[in-house]
Amino acid sequence: MGHRLTEDAKGVYLIAATPFEDDGALDLEGIDRLVDFYLGCGVHGLTILGMMGEANKLTAAETEAVAARFLKAVDGRVPVIVGTSATALASVTDLSRKVMDQGAAGVMVAPSGPLKTDDQTFGYMEAVTAALGPDVPVVYQDYPQSTGIHLSVPLWNRIADAFPSIVMLKHEDCPGLAKLSRVRADEAGRRRVSILVGNGALYYLEEMERGADGAMTGFGFPEMLVGVYDRFTAGDRDGAAALFDAYMPFIRYEQQPGYGLAVRKEILRRRGGAKSARARWPAPSLGREGMAEIDSLLVRLRNRLLEVDPAQAAVVPV
């Protein structure tokens, strides 16, 4: 059965890109290369078919093929969470069962559809967990910027109390630091659930300080996410901050809505994780100016890392 996700999950579960050929065709062989690259960066787990993984640009057949190839390539070396969100409950259930049978550690679901009230969102998660059964670990993806569905802290407490198969909160509300603190404060006397954070790592250090267990996001340099986590959990807050600060100009640049995916894929190409930087339409082009800006940012990053972490400086493609 391999890994099974639990409330104790910690570390960096990187949101994986989906590789394409230059013509936009799916690059299944490139998944093997990408997995080796990510694991070589020291990540503790992978999350596939996320929003930054362009899951919404895949056909149903491609979705299943991507999930199967990633799970085969990882081969149990780290836990793999699979995004199975869909408007239709039958689609969520069907894909979730298939990937769990293939060795997934759990599935990630974002509430979907015309959910306007807390009771409707609760009812949606009740239906999902009932359909999947108690043995399928579920990650609740809280990303209101995309879904339009707000998860209040009282609603989260109600969901976490009612559905023990929901073992993780993927916290991506923004602004969300106060919300994260309140979730942790309200856990006194109730089940503690793993919380991994997204938002492109913009608030990663502060979120760790407020009780996050790690990150579930994508970034062109997964070593930063792992390094900050390792230093922070070892008690070296200053070292974690220094490493985080070195990358901040690049984190900021990569966080541009829409455009950031093109930046991330270009970095993966330059670092050898992917043979093509192609993102499927609709996706912006970096253009000559964007490429020049990336060149400049990479030089700045390498120079700063030479002071903070020379080993990481060595992987910057300048």
Please give the backbone phi and psi of residue 253, each rounded to the nearest 5 degrees, phi first. -65, -40
CB-count burial class (<10 Å; 0-12, 13-18, 19+) for 202 = middle
Render pLDDT for 69-96 as a digit per residue (tens, 0 to 9).
999 999 999 999 999 999 899 999 999 9
Q: What residues form DSSP beta bridges with 36?
A: none
- What is the arithmetic mean of pLDDT over 101-117? 95
Q: What does the pLDDT read at residue 110?
A: 96
What is the CATH code of the structural domain delimited by 11-236? Answer: 3.20.20.70
Does a cis peptide bond (omega within 30 degrees of 0) precede residue 164? no
Q: State pTM to two decimals.
A: 0.97
Q: Rounded to the nearest 10 degrees, how much is the dihedral formed by the CA atoms of 293, 54, 17, 205?
A: 70
- Rounded to whole angstroms, the Cα distance separating 33 from 244 reads 27
Beta strands in 129-247 (DSSP E): 138-142, 166-171, 194-197, 214-215
- What is the arithmetic mean of pLDDT over 207-234? 98
- What is the arithmetic mean of pLDDT over 284-305? 97
Q: What residues form DSSP beta bridges with 20?
A: 26
State the average pLDDT for the chain. Answer: 97
Domain ranges of the chain: 11-236
Q: What does the pLDDT read at residue 51?
A: 85
Please check the confidence at residue 1 and state whether its pLDDT lies above 70. no
Yes or no: say if 179 and 142 are a contact pair by the CB < 8 Å rule.
Answer: no
